[in-house]
């Protein structure tokens, strides 16, 4: 049982003093939500769980431990591991300061529409897990459980292609309608492992080109700017879309940028390894310069 | 509250012809912060600059806008003007109402409205300008010359004579370049070798000149005044310190190879010097053709070498040296006419190019100076010259005129007449262009005294008939097709850039045009400089040029390099990138994107959560930064800003125009 394994692993690390904190998941208020937990004592290890509802990408929490003295242990699924790679590449986390416990993942479930029956098996996978290309962690110190097979995910750009086929006015109407619903809660930004600036441009004072009003114009500016700021660095964990309380299809924008980048600079998947640099983060002599 | 002064220039009628400058000045008075505006006939002139200086004093101005030409033209002029009036020269903006407005808009009313907008934009930006300071850097007093043809040699001699050490890097085994292949030079018909080889010897014996032949520039780092240059000394297989150039090795070498120097018309050995007057006169082994390198047998040269200089084990050697200035003089190539099906795709042996012809008439060439056709070594009686092969032909060749072909074809026709009694030359031409001292007279003489028959028209087809070449074309002056039975055809192929010119340009960080010729900083006013400070151009690498022009440009490039090297300190531009360390997260995306390697990480210590902690941030080397701004757009946090073009300043401009 995986939950026993993670509890044992966490307990051992804390007992030996190898790490000062373990970041994992615990059972939430309801049976269908498991929430992040931060434990620093061996006896707390029994709070840890790994079930069908551990969707939260834990990598982002490492930013709060940037100045920690000791090591931090984190449980990582495939998507979480890519997020860790992102943070290491962005120089926000040092590899030697984290202990990564990998967990192969078959996908997380959606919360039920009604809470009466506890039929976990009947629940659909989360949208972000349906198109998951990395169920196994790409970076870890120990791996708990056996790697799971990669399932067929089809063309992940199908949604983008459908949007590309629309006319300009149609696209504007489509996104205008969606962005007018945005409530500017910034959950998408807060959860994103690529959003790791010290001060977000949208929180800064005195940048008069980024308005804070909640109206269509400013919402469009915010959503497009957010997407552009993670361009080339998005690891496609899909957390932004999952946490959006208004259900905006944010991955459509991220994937459009990824598709464009792939077409311009060759295929690139962010966060798969530590060596490959993001296409927009390097200068190559053979970069296309069609505009010149 | 700022006090902005606006000065609108007429530029004679250049601006005033299509822009109502007085109205522009009047409107400018109404812009926020503008306290004074006026117009003047020539703002850049001495009295024009005095107008600015007087107004600064009289109206207590703290910001200045000049609406005139492109900043590329006169920004430095007006910055100096502000400086002499006691202001920081960066509290200044230029509104380009000439190139961006009057020259491109015929309608005076619309042109004036646009000019007002451009001034409004500049006046909005200037308010946000901050005083900037230049920094100064030391200079390495040494020059590097890339390419040792006539241009490179001249540059090296001039700089060396001024007292600065010079290194010539030449990729061939000898210096001399294309001029060494040429027989006679127009319009005087003096012998090319007679005027070139003494210069080659001067270069090799000059105490300030070091020649690195058979070497190439591998990497260029650093910046003006302080370049770090890695040079690859290709394995020569001959120890230069031991070799005396006695020639025993190439006499004994059993392997014969087509000579590149003789354009494949003659042979050389696998261990060789390209020609007898080579400098340095020490051989190299062509490892591709040498039997020893091919199958390990032979080694005859080593056996016979009296000084034991032949070294089959020699490896390429990389050396890194510091230089203050670089002059690029890599020369040209001949256009490959194999794209012309009508001229036989380069397959007829007796259809040759101008450079082949030079080797045929050269006394030290493969035929000892006798004009013999390559196929059967017969002396041709009828020679047809075809000009503009690849030049002025946008469909198959290059759009430009190669400038030298009219003259060298006239020279060739003269030499044919002199060397082959009873011969006849025909020259197919589009135009005859002879803009040079004594050039027109030379052409006239060729046509009149040397009986070359000039036929105005293109050649439509060349084909073999027996041992003759039939040249079919049109005489467009009489409007009739002509067909000439020729023994030999000489094509005046275009001068094209070296095939690796683009690579070298990227290594050096200089720009190049659509034809791969290096681009000068300004076609009229800065013809030997590049946009990269400290890198200068000489000779045909910048565009087709004959020998007099190349030598003249070499002198100009040398004087620019000398001007740079004779300073002890150099000011670097203040328009550089700047990091806001408080916001920088140290992701270093900017480092990978900087084409000038000007950004590096540094560790800062700061108080975080009650204790001192170390943190990585980006740091810009102000001497290396060229102010291109690539990093500023790569930084998602916007903590990189180009001084003089900050986000706030650009946005002020946008708002002034769009809102």
Q: Tens digit of pLDDT for each residue in B546-576?
A: 999 999 999 999 999 999 999 988 887 899 9
Residue A67: its chain B contacts at CB < 8 A?
608-609, 611, 613
Residue B318 burial class via C-beta count within 10 angstroms: exposed 0-12, middle 13-18, buried 19 and up: exposed
Q: How many CB pairs under 8 A join A and B?
A: 59
Q: Which of A94-103, B239-248, B567-576 has the lowest mean pLDDT?
A: B567-576
How close does chain B come to A223, measured CA to CA in Å?
A: 14
Answer for the pair B554, B539: CB distance below 8 angstroms, yes or no.
Answer: yes
Nearest alpha carbon to residue B193 among B201, B184, B206, B205: B184
Residue B297 burial class via C-beta count within 10 angstroms: exposed 0-12, middle 13-18, buried 19 and up: exposed
Determine, for residues B630 and A283 on separate chains, whether the beta-carbon distance falls below 8 Å: yes
Answer for the pair A49, A3: CB distance below 8 angstroms, yes or no.
Answer: yes
Determine, for residues A283 and B583 on separate chains, whether the beta-carbon distance falls below 8 Å: no
Q: Are strands B468-475 and B459-465 parallel, antiparallel or unpaired?
A: antiparallel
ipTM of the complex: 0.89
Answer for the pair B516, B541: CB distance below 8 angstroms, yes or no.
Answer: no
Q: Which of residues 262-291 of B touch A (CB under 8 A)?
A: none
Determine, for residues A281 and B589 on separate chains, whether the beta-carbon distance falls below 8 Å: yes
Compute the average pLDDT of residues A40-59: 93
Q: Which of residues 544-603 of B touch A (CB under 8 A)?
A: 582-589, 592-595, 601
Report the residue from A92, A204, A228 with minimal CB separation from B585: A92
pLDDT at A154: 84
Answer for the pair B480, B486: CB distance below 8 angstroms, yes or no.
Answer: no
Residue A266 burial class via C-beta count within 10 angstroms: exposed 0-12, middle 13-18, buried 19 and up: exposed
Topology of the domain comprising B577-642: Alpha-Beta Plaits (3.30.70)
Q: Residue B631: closest CA among chain A residues belongs to which residue?
A: A281
* B409 pLDDT above the threshold of 80: yes
Q: Residue B587: closest CA among chain A residues belongs to which residue?
A: A90
Report the residue from A91, A200, A209 with minimal CB separation from B651: A209
Answer for the pair A58, A76: CB distance below 8 angstroms, yes or no.
Answer: yes
Compute the average pLDDT of residues B21-33: 96
Answer for the pair A137, A98: CB distance below 8 angstroms, yes or no.
Answer: no
Write the DSSP assignment of B204-244 as a string of letters: HH-TTEEEE-SEEEEEEEEETTEEEEEEEE---SB-TTT--
Report the residue from A197, A209, A281 with minimal CB separation from B592: A281
Residue B102 burial class via C-beta count within 10 angstroms: exposed 0-12, middle 13-18, buried 19 and up: buried
- Using DSSP, state whether B428 is helix, strand or coil: strand
pLDDT at B150: 97
Nearest alpha carbon to residue B337 among B388, B375, B384, B381: B388
Distance between CA atoms of B258 and B266, rounded to whole angstroms? Answer: 6
Q: Residue B638: closest CA among chain A residues belongs to which residue?
A: A201
Going from the C-alpha of B378 to that of each of B350, B370, B417, the distances in angstroms are 11, 10, 16
**Which of B636, B651, B652 to mutate: most A Cβ within 10 Å?**
B636
* B472 pLDDT above the threshold of 90: yes
How close does chain A come to B263, measured CA to CA in Å?
A: 33
CA dihedral sign of residues A268, A274, A275, A279: positive
**Placement of tokens 């700022």 in the chain:** B2
Compute the average pLDDT of residues B242-262: 94
Q: A138-156 as b/e, with b when 16 or more CB fall inside 10 Å?
A: bbbbeebeeeeeeeeeeeb
Answer for the pair A236, A273: CB distance below 8 angstroms, yes or no.
Answer: no
> From the CB of residue B606, how many other CB atoms can be counted at a distance below 10 Å?
11
Mean pLDDT of chain B: 94
Q: How confident is the model at residue A250 (pLDDT cuts 50, 70, 90)?
A: very high
How close does chain A come to B328, measured CA to CA in Å?
A: 20
Distance between CA atoms of B318 and B92, rounded to whole angstroms? Answer: 46
pLDDT at B224: 87
Distance between CA atoms of B54 and B52, rounded to whole angstroms? Answer: 5
Residue A199: its chain B contacts at CB < 8 A?
582-583, 637
Q: Which of A45-59, A127-141, A278-292 has the lowest mean pLDDT?
A: A278-292
Answer for the pair B102, B15: CB distance below 8 angstroms, yes or no.
Answer: yes
**Placement of tokens 């959606």 in the chain:** A110
- The percent of residues in chain A predicted with pLDDT above 90, rounded, is 71
Give residue A71's Cα distance to chain centre. 22
Q: How confident is the model at residue B595 (pLDDT cuts 50, 70, 90)?
A: confident
Rg, chain B, Cα only: 30
Q: A234-263 as b/e, with b when 16 or more CB fall inside 10 Å?
A: bbbbbbbbbbbeeebbbbbbbbbbbeebee
Topology alike, domains B135-234+316-331+499-569 and B334-496 = yes
* B217 pLDDT above the threshold of 90: yes
- The percent of residues in chain B predicted with pLDDT above 70, rounded, is 100
In this complex, is the C-beta atom of B634 within 8 Å of any C-beta atom belonging to chain A? yes
Number of C-alpha atoms within 13 angstroms, CB side, residue B141? 12
pLDDT tens, B271-300?
A: 999 999 999 999 999 999 999 999 988 999
How close does chain B come to A140, measured CA to CA in Å?
A: 22
pLDDT tens, B47-106?
A: 999 999 999 999 999 999 999 999 988 999 999 999 999 999 999 999 999 999 999 999
Domain ranges across chain B: 4-134, 135-234+316-331+499-569, 235-313, 334-496, 577-642
Residue B513: its chain A contacts at CB < 8 A?
none
**Placement of tokens 């070294």 in the chain:** B311
What would the CATH number be for the domain defined by B4-134? 3.40.50
**Placement of tokens 């059967």 in the chain:** B376
SS (HEC) of chain A: CHHHHHHHHHHHHHHCCCCCEEEEEEECCCCCCEEEEEECCHHHHHHEECCCCCCCCCHHHHHHHCCCCCCEEEEECHHHHHHHHHHHHCCCCCHHHEEEEECCCCCCECCCCCCCCCCCCCCCECHHHHCCCCCCCCCCCEECCCCCCCCCCCCCCHHHHHHHCCCHHHHHHHHHHHHCCCCCCCHHHHHCCCCCCCCCCCCCCCCCCCCCCCCHHHHHHHHHHHHHHCCCCCCCCCHHHHHCCCCCCHHHHHHHHHHHHHHHHCCCCCCCCCCCCCHHHCCCCCCCCCCC
How close does chain B come to A26, measured CA to CA in Å?
A: 28
Distance between CA atoms of B527 and B539, rounded to whole angstroms? Answer: 11
Secondary structure element (H or E) that encloses residue B555, with its range: helix B547-565
How close does chain B come to A271, measured CA to CA in Å?
A: 14
How close does chain A come to B598, measured CA to CA in Å?
A: 13
Compute the average pLDDT of residues A145-168: 91
Q: Work out the angle at residue A129's Cα, subtended by the Cα atoms of residues A126 and A135, and round it to the nearest 5 degrees.
A: 150
pLDDT at A287: 78
Secondary structure element (H or E) that encloses residue B304, with its range: helix B300-304
Q: How confident is the model at residue A186 (pLDDT cuts 50, 70, 90)?
A: very high
pLDDT at A244: 95
pLDDT at A291: 65
Q: Hey, what are A204's tokens?
A: 């800064």
Question: Which residues, in sequence order, are CB contacts of B641 under 8 Å at separation 6+?
Answer: B577, B578, B580, B632, B647
By 3-state DSSP, what share of chain B in percent is helix, strand and coil, each rounded to 5?
Answer: 30, 25, 40
Residue A208: its chain B contacts at CB < 8 A?
651
Going from the C-alpha of B48 to that of each of B70, B156, B204, B364, the distances in angstroms are 17, 41, 51, 62
Compute the average pLDDT of residues B323-345: 94
What would the CATH number be for the domain defined by B135-234+316-331+499-569? 3.50.50.60
Determine, for residues B637 and A282 on separate chains, whether the beta-carbon distance falls below 8 Å: no
Determine, for residues B588 and A91 on separate chains, whether the beta-carbon distance falls below 8 Å: yes
Q: Residue B506: closest CA among chain A residues belongs to which residue?
A: A285
What are the helix and strand counts (H, E) for chain B? 17, 34
Report the residue from A91, A198, A230 with minimal CB separation from B637: A198
Q: How confident is the model at residue A292 (pLDDT cuts 50, 70, 90)?
A: low
Q: Which CATH architecture has domain B334-496?
A: 3-Layer(bba) Sandwich (3.50)
- Using DSSP, state whether B594 is helix, strand or coil: coil
Q: Which residues of A touch B (CB under 8 A)?
A: 67, 90-92, 196-201, 204, 207-209, 228-230, 277-278, 280-283, 285
Q: What is the DSSP letter of B566?
A: T
**Placement of tokens 């380069």 in the chain:** B346
Mean pLDDT of chain A: 91
Determine, for residues A208 and B594 on separate chains, whether the beta-carbon distance falls below 8 Å: no
Question: Which residues, in sequence order, are CB contacts of B650 under 8 Å at separation 6+?
Answer: B125
Compute the average pLDDT of residues B244-263: 94
Nearest alpha carbon to residue B193 among B177, B169, B208: B177
Q: How confident is the model at residue B533 (pLDDT cuts 50, 70, 90)?
A: confident
Compute the average pLDDT of residues B206-227: 93
Question: Which residues, in sequence order, are CB contacts of A166 under 8 Å at separation 6+?
Answer: A174
Give strand ranges (E) for B274-376: 284-285, 317-323, 325-328, 332-334, 351-353
**pTM for this model (two decimals):** 0.69
pLDDT tens, B155-209?
A: 999 999 999 999 999 999 999 999 999 999 999 999 999 999 999 999 999 999 9
* B6 pLDDT above the threshold of 60: yes
Q: How confident is the model at residue A113 (pLDDT cuts 50, 70, 90)?
A: confident
């Amino acid at each position: 049982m995986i939950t026993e394994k993670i509890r044992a692993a966490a307990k051992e690390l804390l007992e030996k003093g190898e790490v000062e904190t373990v970041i994992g998941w615990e059972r939430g208020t309801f049976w269908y939500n498991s929430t992040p937990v931060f434990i620093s004592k061996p006896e707390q290890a029994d709070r840890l769980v790994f079930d069908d509802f551990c969707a939260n990408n834990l990598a982002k929490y490492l930013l709060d431990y940037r100045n920690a003295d000791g090591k931090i242990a984190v449980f990582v699924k495939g998507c979480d591991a890519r997020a860790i790679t992102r943070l290491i590449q962005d120089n926000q986390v040092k590899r030697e300061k984290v202990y990564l416990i990998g967990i192969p993942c078959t996908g997380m479930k959606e919360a039920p529409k009604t809470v009466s029956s506890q039929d976990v098996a009947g629940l659909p996978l989360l949208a972000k897990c349906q198109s998951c290309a990395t169920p196994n962690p790409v970076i870890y110190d120990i791996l708990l459980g056996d790697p799971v097979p990669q399932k067929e995910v089809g063309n992940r750009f199908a949604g983008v292609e459908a949007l590309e086929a629309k006319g300009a006015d149609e696209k504007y109407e489509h996104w205008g309608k969606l962005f007018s619903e945005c409530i500017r809660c910034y959950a998408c930004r807060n959860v994103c492992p690529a959003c790791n600036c010290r001060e977000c441009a949208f929180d800064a004072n005195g940048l008069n080109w980024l308005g804070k009003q909640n109206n269509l114009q400013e919402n469009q500016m915010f959503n497009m700017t957010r997407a552009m700021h993670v361009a080339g660095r998005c690891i496609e964990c899909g957390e932004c879309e999952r946490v959006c309380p208004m259900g905006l299809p944010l991955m459509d924008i991220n994937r459009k940028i990824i598709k464009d980048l792939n077409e311009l600079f060759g295929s690139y998947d962010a966060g798969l390894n530590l060596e490959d640099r993001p296409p927009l983060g390097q200068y190559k002599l053979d970069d296309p310069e069609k505009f010149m | 509250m700022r006090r902005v002064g606006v000065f609108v220039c007429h530029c004679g009628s250049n601006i005033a012809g299509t822009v109502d400058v007085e109205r522009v000045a009047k409107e400018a008075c109404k812009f926020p912060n503008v306290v004074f505006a006026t117009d003047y006939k020539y703002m850049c002139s001495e009295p024009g600059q005095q107008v600015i200086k007087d107004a600064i004093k009289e109206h207590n101005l703290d910001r200045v806008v000049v609406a005139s030409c492109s900043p590329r033209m006169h920004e430095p002029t007006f910055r100096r003007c502000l400086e002499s009036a006691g202001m920081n020269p960066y509290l200044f903006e230029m509104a380009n109402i000439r190139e961006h407005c009057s020259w491109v808009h015929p309608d005076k009313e619309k042109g004036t409205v646009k000019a007002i907008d451009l001034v409004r934009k500049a006046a909005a930006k200037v308010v946000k300008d901050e005083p900037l300071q230049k920094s100064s850097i030391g200079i390495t007093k040494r020059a590097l010359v890339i390419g040792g043809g006539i241009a490179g040699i001249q540059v090296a001699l001039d700089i060396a004579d001024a007292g600065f050490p010079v290194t010539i890097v030449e990729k061939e085994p000898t210096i001399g370049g294309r001029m060494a292949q040429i027989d006679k030079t127009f319009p005087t018909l003096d012998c090319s070798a007679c005027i070139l080889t003494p210069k080659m010897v001067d270069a090799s014996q000059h105490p300030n000149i070091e020649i690195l032949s058979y070497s190439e520039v591998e990497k260029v780092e650093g910046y003006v005044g302080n370049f770090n240059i890695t040079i690859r000394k290709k394995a020569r297989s001959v120890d230069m310190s031991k070799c005396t150039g006695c020639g025993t090795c190439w006499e004994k070498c059993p392997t014969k190879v087509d000579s590149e120097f003789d354009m494949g018309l003659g042979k050389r050995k696998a261990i060789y010097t390209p020609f007898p007057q080579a400098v340095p006169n020490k051989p190299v082994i062509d490892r591709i053709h040498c039997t020893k390198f091919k199958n390990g047998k032979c080694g005859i040269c080593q056996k016979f070498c009296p000084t034991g200089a032949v070294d089959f084990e020699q490896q390429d050697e990389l050396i890194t040296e510091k230089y203050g200035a670089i002059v690029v003089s890599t020369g040209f190539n001949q256009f490959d006419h194999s794209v012309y099906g009508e001229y036989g795709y380069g397959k007829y042996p007796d259809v040759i190019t101008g450079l082949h012809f030079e080797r045929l008439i050269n006394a030290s060439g493969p035929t000892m100076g006798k004009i013999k056709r390559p196929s059967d070594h017969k002396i041709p009686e009828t020679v047809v010259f075809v000009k503009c092969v690849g030049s002025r032909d946008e469909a198959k060749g290059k759009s430009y005129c190669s400038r030298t072909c009219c003259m060298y074809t006239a020279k060739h026709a003269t030499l044919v007449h002199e060397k082959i009694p009873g011969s006849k030359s025909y020259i197919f031409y589009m135009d005859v262009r002879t803009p040079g001292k004594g050039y027109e007279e030379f052409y006239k003489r060729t046509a009149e005294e040397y009986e070359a028959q000039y036929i105005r028209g293109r050649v439509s087809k060349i084909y073999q008939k027996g041992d003759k070449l039939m040249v079919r074309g049109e005489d467009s002056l009489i409007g009739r097709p002509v067909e000439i039975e020729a023994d030999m055809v000489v094509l005046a192929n275009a001068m094209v850039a070296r095939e690796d010119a683009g690579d070298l340009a990227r290594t050096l960080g200089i720009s190049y045009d659509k034809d791969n010729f290096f681009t000068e900083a300004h076609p009229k006013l800065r013809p030997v400089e590049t946009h990269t400070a400290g890198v200068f151009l000489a000779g045909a690498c910048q565009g087709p040029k004959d020998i007099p022009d190349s030598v003249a440009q070499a002198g100009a490039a040398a004087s620019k390099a000398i001007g740079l090297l004779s300073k002890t300190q150099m000011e670097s531009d203040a328009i550089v990138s700047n990091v806001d360390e408080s916001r920088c997260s140290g992701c270093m995306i900017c480092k990978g994107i900087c084409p000038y390697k000007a950004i590096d990480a540094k560790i800062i210590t700061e108080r975080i959560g009650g204790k001192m902690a170390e943190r990585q941030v980006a740091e810009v080397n102000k001497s290396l930064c060229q102010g291109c701004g690539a990093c500023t757009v790569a930084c998602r946090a916007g903590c990189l800003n180009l001084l003089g073009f900050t986000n706030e300043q650009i946005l002020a401009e946008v708002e002034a125009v769009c809102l």
